[in-house]
């Protein structure tokens, strides 16, 4: 299994390097070395200017997540209703409440299913979800900042 994970790690490195060179939405890719295999993929968006996806390779899964926004300052019922309704439209991702009540977008994939096409789907799905969810949620949960 360690050889398979090393090969998958190399595949992810290669795929991200190619995407960084070719995809204008990618701003940077960094690696965390050590006990945890993690990539930080900095992405340019339209609704949310820049955000970072964290991809973490474990023994059995590739996890991916991004911080979407802090907990709402106002209109919490409408804010969480919006997120729950958007959650229904997501494939392979889900919205979660994380540390300090912040909102995260997260998903995972078994390592056996990781292919170049799946890496592309993950990044594209994350980009589309951030674009779909961020501004409307921001306007609900932080409404007084927009008046």
Tell me the domains of the chain and their CATH numbers: 2-146 (3.30.1460.10)
Q: What string of pLDDT tens digits covers the 147 residues of the chain?
A: 688 999 999 999 999 999 999 999 999 999 997 888 999 999 999 999 999 999 999 999 999 999 999 999 999 999 999 999 999 999 999 999 999 999 999 999 999 999 999 999 999 999 999 999 999 999 999 999 988
In this predicted structure, what is the pLDDT of residue 35? Answer: 85
| Number of CB atoms found within 10 A of residue 69's CB | 19
Please state, in angstroms and rounded to a whole number, the distance separating the CA atoms of residues 107 and 120: 14
CB–CB of 70/77 below 8 Å? no
pTM: 0.93
In this predicted structure, what is the pLDDT of residue 109? Answer: 96
CB–CB of 53/66 below 8 Å? yes
Alpha helices in the chain (DSSP H): 2-22, 76-87, 116-141
Please state, in angstroms and rounded to a whole number, the distance separating the CA atoms of residues 31 and 45: 21
> Could you identify the residue written with the tokens 């890719």?
29
In this predicted structure, what is the pLDDT of residue 2? Answer: 83
CB–CB of 67/15 below 8 Å? no
Q: Is 95 helix (H, G, I), strand (E, B) or coil?
A: strand
In this predicted structure, what is the pLDDT of residue 1? Answer: 63
């Amino acid at each position: 299994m360690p050889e398979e994970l090393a090969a998958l790690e190399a595949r992810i490195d290669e795929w991200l390097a190619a995407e960084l060179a070719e995809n204008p939405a990618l701003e940077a890719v960094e690696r965390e070395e050590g006990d945890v295999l993690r990539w930080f993929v900095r992405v340019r968006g339209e609704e949310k200017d820049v955000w970072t996806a964290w991809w973490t390779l474990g023994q059995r899964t590739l996890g991916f997540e991004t911080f979407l926004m802090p907990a709402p300052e106002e209109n919490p019922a409408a804010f969480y209703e919006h997120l729950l309704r958007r959650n229904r439209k997501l494939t392979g991702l889900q919205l979660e409440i994380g540390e300090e009540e912040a909102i995260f977008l997260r998903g995972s994939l078994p390592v056996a299913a990781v292919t170049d096409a799946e890496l592309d789907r993950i990044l594209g799905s994350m980009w589309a979800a951030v674009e779909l969810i961020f501004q409307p949620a921001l306007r609900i949960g932080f409404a007084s900042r927009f008046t």
